[in-house]
Structure 1
Amino acid sequence: MRFFTPLLAPVIALTGVALAAPTVSHDKRSLVEREGVVYNVFEHGLTGARIEFVNNSGICETTKGVNQYSGYLSVGTNMNMWFWFFEARQNPSTAPLVSWFNGGPGCSSMIGLFQENGPCKFTGSSTTPVNNSYSFNNYANMLYIDQPIGVGFSYGTDDVTSTVTAAPYVWKLIQAFYASFPQYESRDFGIFTESYGGHYGPEFTKYILDQNKANAGEKINIVALGINNGWYDSKIQEKAYVQFSYNNTYKPLITESQYNTYLSRYTNNCLPAINKCYSSGTNSACQTADNTCYNQIEGPLSSVADFDVYDIRAPSQDPNPPENYVTYLNSSAVKTAIGAKSTYQECANAPGNKFSTTGDSPRSFLSELSSVVQSNITTLIWAGDADWICNWFGGYDVANVIDYPGQSAFAAKSLAPYTVNGKEGGTFKTQDNLSFLRVYAAGHEVPFYQPELALQVFIQTLKKGAIAST
C-alpha cells in the first residue's frame, strides 16, 4: 500500500549506500539450534552476507512436497532483512524465480503473501489460514522480501532514505540467495510489486540491469516487471486524483464545481512545486512538493466523503482485506516456527519517515520505467479500478507516455476487453513488450479481489509475452 500523509522532517542530503565489507573468504554452511528450532546458516564469501533460515516450517504452505525457507539475510552491520521463500508447486526445478515487494514506503511484503498472492490466505474472521488455490507459487518460485530494515520482520539499523538507496540492498539479498540456493541461478527472474512499487519496481529492475552490464556478482536473468496500482510520477498522478474523484465508474466523490476548484489547485500550487522538485532535485524542493500536493489535493480529497482510499466502494471504517494475519504472525508459536526474531510491523513509520526526509514520494520514476521497457523487459502496468490512492486513471496515463520504440503505437490503441475463460474481467492493450490492464471490481490489492485473473496475468507476463484473453 501507499501512505499519503507527508511528514515534515529536517532536510538531509541523499547519500550512497555503504555495504558491509566481506567477513569471510569463502562460503560457509552450518546448523544452529535455538530453543528447539534448527536454523540453517550460510555465510557468503563474496559479499560477507549471512543468511539464517528455517527449513520447511509447515506454516502457510501445506502442499505436500513443496519446500519453503524463512529467515534473515544480514545485508550489513546489524541489518537483518527478512525473507520468506516458497518453492513452485509445479515444476520447481525449472520454474522462474520471482521477488514480491509491497510498498509504503515502509510496508511489509507479508501483506502480499497473506492477503494477496501467497500459498495461504485468511477468510472472514478466521484465525488460521487456509490454502490459496490461486497462489502465485502455482507457477513460480516466490521470494517475499521485507525491505528496508524495520519493515515487517526485518530489524536492526536502517540506512535507507530513498528508493535509490534501497536498491543495492535488494540486489545484495538476491546475490546471497543465489549463493545459498545455487539451483535458482540462471532462472528467468521477475519482480512483481504494487503501490510504492511504482518507485521500487523501475529502480530495482534498472539497478539489476546496470549491475549485470557491469558484470557485478552473479547475473540476474531478469525478464519481467509487473506493477499493480503503482505510484510512478506525481505530475501525472496528482492530477489523476482530481479526475478519478469526479469521474470514476463507481461513485462521484466531488461535484463539478469542486472538480474545477481542485484542478485549479493542482495547476496553480501542486504542479509548480512538482516541477521545481523535478528541475532542482533537492530534498527541500521535493519535500515542499510532497507537502503542497498533499495539503492542496490528496488530504482534502481523501476526506470529502466516507470511503476507503484503497477501495472506493467500501466505507473508511470497513476496509478490505481482513487483518487477521497480523495477529497470526505475532503469535509466539508462529514466530518460533518460521524463525522470526522481531515483532511484526505491517507498515512501520520509521522507514517511511526517512523517505520523507529526501522527498522521495514526488520524485518521478518514469525515466527508470522507460529504461526498463527499452531494455526489452516484459512489463505489465495494471490496476484495480476501485482503488483511489493509486488509481487506474493515473496508471493508464503513465503507461501511455512510457518512452520506448512502441510508444506511439501503444498510446494510439484503445482498450479492449480482457477475459478469463470467456468472462470479461477488465480492459487492456499491448504493444511489443508493454501491456496495460484495468481490472474490474478490484481495489488496491488486485489479487485479493480477482485472484483467478491475477494468476493468469502473472503467468502470461512471466512467459515473456503480451497478456491475452482466454
Structure 2
Amino acid sequence: MMLTFRFQWVLLAWTAFLAVASGRLPQSDRVRRTHPPVEARHEAPEAPVEDRSEKFRFLTAETKPYQVTSLPEVPFDIGELYSGLVPIDSKNKSNALFFVFQPTIGPPVDTLTIWLNGGPGCSSLEGFFQENGRFLWQPGQYAPAINDYAWVNLTNMLWVEQPIGTGFSIGEVTATGEEEIAQQFVGFFKNFEELFGIKHFKIYVTGESYAGRYVPYISAAMVDEKDTTYFDLAGVLVYDPCIGAYDYSQQELVTLPLVQRNAPIFGLNDSFISQLEALDASCGYADYRNKYLTFPPPGIQPDGYFSYETEASCDVWDLTFYAALAINPCFNIYHIVDTCPLLPDVLGFPGSLMYTTPGLGIYFERADVKKAMHAPTDVTWTECSNGLVIIGAYGPDDDFQNDTSLDPIQYVLPKVIEHTNRVLVANGDWDMIIITEGTLLSIQNMTWNGALGFQTEPSTPIVITEPDLQYEVLFDENELNGVDDIQGTMGIQHYERGLMWAETYQSGHMEPEYQPRISYRHLEWLLGYVDEL
C-alpha cells in the first residue's frame, strides 16, 4: 500500500503495548475531453509486444537500456514500460533516483503525471504496483491483475523513488529538509526529460501521506525554475497529506471525532469512550475544534506541535490505537475496517505491521525482478527505508524525522495553488494516520489567493456515475447481473480560489487502492477533463 505515511517504524508489537504516560510510539510509516469512456477502455485487445515495439513513442537508442519487456509473474503484455536509475546531476552518477515510466494507453497525450509515495523513505513502487499502475498485485491477491482504473488510461505516468535512500535510489543522504529534496528532484527530472525527449509537456505532481510535504515543495521548485520547456506545472493532487502539524492538528486534535463517527468499527466500550471525551475536553482539543474548524475561520491558529515528553497524558491517538489493537490484533491505522488475518503482501507491509508471509518473499527484492527492471542488484529493497532519508536537526515536530522545513500550508502550498489554480487535496474517512477533520483543519489555517481558509463549509456531494469494472464479469458469473451499477454518492467536494477539497467515503489512507473509481475521477479533474468531481 502506499502509505504514503508509511513511517516504516510503525512496527507495532504487542510488547509495545505501553501505557499512554510512557510517551508516543515511534512511527514509521489519490469538461470531459475526447478520450474514450472509462467503461470502454479496458476492452481493447492488446497486441503482442513484438508487433508494437516499433510504435513505442519513447523508445530510442538512448532509452532502450531502460526498456522493460516483461516482469516475473505478470502474465500479460505490459506494453511500453521503462525503469532504472537517472542521476540527479549528470556529472555525478553516484547520486541517482530510481523511476518507473509508463506512457499513456491509447492516443498519445503531452501530459506527464508524477506520483510520489511518502514515509519519509517509502517507495513509490507501492503506488505503481498496488495503487494506480496498469497492473496491480495488492495484498491478498494470488497474482497480478489488470487495473481498469489505471492512471495511464489518461496520462503518461512517472513513479519515482525519492529522496536518496528510498527504495532502489542510490547515493549519499544529505538532505536536511524539503528544499534540498526538491532541488535534487528537479535535477533528476530534467535529466529524465532530456533522456526521453520530453519537452513542453504539462506537468502534474501527485502523491500521498508524507508526500503532502514532498509534492508542494517540489512543485514550488518547478515554478521557481521559470522554464516551461521542462517544468510547465499545471496542477497538483495530494491524498491524505501531511500539510500541517501532522501529529497535532491531523491526529491528536481530531482523534475523538474519528472514533465517534466510526464507533461500530472501533468497538470501544462506553467507559473508554468516556475517558477519551474527558481527555478531549481537558486537553483543549474540543475547544480548539469548536473555534477553528469553522467556516470562515476566525483567524490564524496558534502554533501547535505535540510533545510526547511533556504532553503524554493527552496522547489520545496512541491511547485509541492500543485499545483498537487489543480488540482487533490486525487493526490497520491506514484502513480501519481491516480485520484478521493479515493478508499476504508481496511488498511486506499489509497493514499497521510490516509482515512477510512465509514462502512469499518481497517481489522487488527478487533477483529476476531486479534484472528485468534494471535495478541495482547490491541494494536491498524494502517498502520503507530502514535508515533516515532526511538528516537535519530536529524541527519543531520531531515526528518529521529531522525534516526542518516549514509545514506546506505556511508558504509553498499557497504558492502552488496561486500558480496553477488546479490543486486537489483529498482525505479518506477510514484513515487514522491522517484524519479527515485534521486535514480540513489545516486548510482552515492556510491563506491563499487573498483569504484564509474556506469561506463556506464543504457540502456538495461527489456522485460517481461510472459502473464498476473490476468485478463486472464476476457479478455476471454469479447471476448478479446489474449489480455493477453506478457507485453513487461517495464523498463531499468543495472548490474555492483554485483549491478543490475532496472527502472520500469508505477509503483508507491509500485512496487509489481503496477507492479506485473515485481516485480516477480526481485525476480527471486534475487533468481538466471534468469541471467538478
> Could you tell me how far 1:293 is from its partner in structure 2?
6.7
* Pairing partner for 1:333 from 368, 373, 383: 368
**Structure-1 residue corresponding to 2:388:** 351
Cα deviation for residue 259 of structure 1 reads: 2.9
CA distance in 2, matches of 1:305, 1:457: 31
Deviation at 1:462, TM superposition (A): 1.4
Determine which of 239, 262, 265 is the counterpart of 1:249.
262
Percent identical: 22
The normalised TM-score by structure 1 is 0.77
Contact 1:310 1:388 in 2 (8 A): yes
Deviations along 1:181-214, whole A, 9 cap, x unmatched? 12x32111101110001111111111111122xx
Cα RMSD (Å)? 3.5
Q: Distance in 2 between matches of 1:233 and 1:158?
A: 25
Paired position in structure 2 for 1:312:
336
SS at match of 1:411: coil
1:206 alignment counterpart: 220
In structure 1, give the amino acid aligned to 2:234: V
1:99/1:191 contact within 8 Å kept: yes
Equivalents in 1 of 2:309, 2:145: separation in Å?
A: 42
Q: CA deviation at 1:129?
A: 1.5
Query: 290-299 or 161-170, which moves further after superposition?
Result: 290-299
Please tell me whether residue 436 in structure 1 is matched to residue 501 in structure 2: yes
Match of 1:176 among 191, 204, 212: 191
Deviations 1:334-375 (A, max 9, x none): 110110112211001213573674547284221221221122
1:303 and 2:322 aligned: yes
Map Cα deviations across residues 123-143 of structure 1 (whole Å, 9 max, x no partner).
564454221111111111000
Q: Which residue of structure 1 aligns with residue 237 of structure 2?
A: 226
Larger relative contact order, structure 1 or 2 (CA cutoff 8 Å, min sep 6): 2
Following superposition of structure 1 onto structure 2, how do residues 65-464 of structure 1 map, counting pairs within 5 Å? Answer: 66-76=79-89, 77=92, 78-92=94-108, 94-122=109-137, 125-126=140-141, 128-182=143-197, 184-212=198-226, 218-234=229-245, 235-249=248-262, 251=265, 255-262=273-280, 264-265=282-283, 289=307, 296-297=314-315, 298-306=317-325, 307-315=331-339, 318=341, 323-325=345-347, 327-341=362-376, 342-352=379-389, 354=391, 357-358=394-395, 359=398, 361=400, 363-367=406-410, 368-405=412-449, 407=451, 410-421=454-465, 423-463=488-528
Aligned partners of 2:312, 2:79: CA distance in 1, in Å? Answer: 45
Q: Specify whether residues 255 and 188 from structure 1 end up closer, same or farther in structure 2 by C-alpha distance, changes over 3 A only.
A: same
Identify if the C-alpha distance between structure 1 residues 360 and 387 changes in structure 2 by more than 3 Å, giving closer, same or farther.
closer
- Alignment partners' CA distance in 2, 1:443 and 1:348: 22
Is the CA contact 1:382–1:438 (under 8 Å) kept in the aligned structure 2?
yes
**Structure 2: distance between partners of 1:41 and 1:295:** 62
Q: CA deviation at 1:52?
A: 9.4
SS in structure 2 at match of 1:144: strand
Shift of 1:242: 2.7
Amino acid at match of 2:135: C
Q: Deviations over 1:18-73 (max 9, x none)?
A: xxxxxxxxxxxxxxxxxxxxx9996xxxxxxxx99521332398876942110001
More helix by share: 1
Q: Which residue of 2 aligns with 1:36?
A: none
Aligned 8 A contact 1:114 1:325 in 2: no
| Runs of at least 5 residues in structure 2 that lack an aligned partner in the other structure | 11-23, 27-58, 289-301, 326-330, 349-361, 466-485
Is the 1:420–1:453 Cα contact (8 Å) retained in structure 2? yes
**Post-superposition shift, 1:150?**
1.8
Please, which moves more after superposition, 302-311 or 103-112?
302-311
Alpha-carbon offset, residue 121 of structure 1: 0.8
Report the alpha carbon displacement of residue 386 of structure 1 after superposing the two structures with TM: 0.1
Measure, in 1, the Cα distance between the counterparts of 2:122 and 2:200: 29
Whole-Å separation in 1 of the counterparts to 2:205 and 2:161: 14
Bigger proportion of residues as strand: 1
Shift of 1:110: 0.7
| Farther off after superposition, 453-462 or 139-148 | 453-462
| Aligned partner letter, 2:346 | N
Q: Given that residues 25 and 318 in structure 2 are in contact (C-alpha distance below 8 angstroms), is that contact kept between their aligned partners in structure 1?
A: no
Bigger mean CA offset, 290-299 vs 376-385: 290-299
Letter in 2 for 1:70: S
The alpha-carbon deviation at position 88 of structure 1 amounts to 0.5
What is the CA deviation profile of residues 294-347 of structure 1, one whole-angstrom value per residue up to 9, with x for unaligned ones? 8852433321322311111124x6567x52245222221111011011221100
TM-score w.r.t. structure 2 length?
A: 0.69
1:56 is aligned, of 65, 68, 81, to 68
Closer/same/farther in 2, CA of residues 370 and 62 from structure 1, 3 Å limit: farther
Q: Deviations over 1:71-112 (max 9, x none)?
A: 0012254212100100101222x2410110000001000111
Q: 1:90 to 1:312 in 2, by over 3 A?
A: same
Distance 1:290 1:459, change over 3 A: farther
Q: Would you say the 8 A contact 1:308–1:314 is kept in 2?
A: yes
Q: Which whole-Å CA distance do the structure 2 matches of 1:197 and 1:292 have between them? A: 29
2: CA distance, partners of 1:150 / 1:223: 29
Contact persistence 1:433–1:465 (CA under 8 A): no
| Structure 1 spans left out of the alignment, 5+ residues | 9-38, 43-50, 271-277, 280-284
Tell me the SS of whatever aligns to 2:69: coil
CA gap 1:200/1:289 in 2 versus in 1, 3 angstroms: farther
Q: Distance between the aligned counterparts of 2:441 and 2:180, measured in 1?
A: 27
* Change beyond 3 A, Cα 1:221–1:392: same
Number of residue equivalences: 410
